[in-house]
Amino acid sequence: MPELPEVETVRRGLAPSMEGQKIVHAAVNRPDLRWPFPENFVQRLTGRTVLRLRRRSKYILADLDNGESLLIHLGMSGRMTVSGDPLGQFVHDHPPQEKHDHVILDMENGARITFNDPRRFGAMDLVPTDQADQHPLLAKLGPEPLGNTFNEEYLVTALKGRNTPIKAALLDQSIVAGLGNIYVCEALFRAHIAPTRKAGRISAKRVAALVPVIRQVLQDAIAAGGSSLRDFRQTDGELGYFQHNFDVYDREGEPCKTPGCTGTIRRIVQSGRSTYYCPKCQR
């Protein structure tokens, strides 16, 4: 599933073609994705201007000029592509429609936004903009890891006394929003913290040091266009490149990249998910 860097990459790719532009035509090619589309979905989108695109955790929100917001979740295999952009950022014309092109938005500037989702684990909804934070998918989310409310004092307090492994704690979306398996593994490696350590038993100093590390990992991944392991594509159809910079993720059996460390990357399973780490320099 796309994590924060992938979703932010998509948001940035869509913004030049959608922000300030009217949706002149909307088409939906099936009644549902993961859930049914909202009532009168096409009619409520057609003719609306997109005021801005923003991201909350792993969700994109397109704020419309009628006081509603289009909530988008990419799911496991969803991708959004742009074609026919008159700004010249995308060289291909509108491609022929594909089997899994479920939602198509034609913008006033000639751009076409296509949502393709073979597995249909993605979702779209329309919510009142001023109540978006109360939507069931967003209401219990913790602070954004790149925002000001995610700071050293907050994380120390949030993890205090917790008996869960630090890996599981950082994946808890109520503690910090948007982090997923890949970037938690990478952040814990850079911080030299073992993923199996109990969150509440890590010193406040080490927990505080995690905050800038998490931010840097995410910023590095966004700069690389995210990570493409299976389905993820940027809005121009290109792959992300951060997977080429993984320190531990998907590197089982390979040597640790920490200078002077002679350890080998190990894979274990935590809560049904693969965890990659160096048992020698992560403690």
pLDDT at 15 over 80: yes
Highest-confidence range of 165-169, 243-247, 249-253, by mean pLDDT? 165-169
| pLDDT digit string, tens, across residues 53-86 | 999 999 999 999 999 999 999 988 888 888 886 5
Domain positions in the chain: 4-134, 152-277
Q: Rounded CA gap, 236 and 98, in Å?
A: 16
Active site residues: 2-3, 58, 273
Range 4-134: architecture per CATH: Alpha-Beta Barrel (3.20)
3-state secondary structure of 202: coil
Greatest Cα pair distance, the chain, in angstroms, is: 61
Q: Which CATH architecture has domain 152-277?
A: Orthogonal Bundle (1.10)
So what's the pLDDT on residue 236?
52
Say how far apart CA 232 and CA 5 lie, in whole Å.
11
Q: How confident is the model at residue 233 (pLDDT cuts 50, 70, 90)?
A: very low
Task: Evaluate whether 4-134 and 152-277 have a shared fold.
Answer: no
The model carries a pTM of: 0.89
Centroid of chain to Cα 235: 14
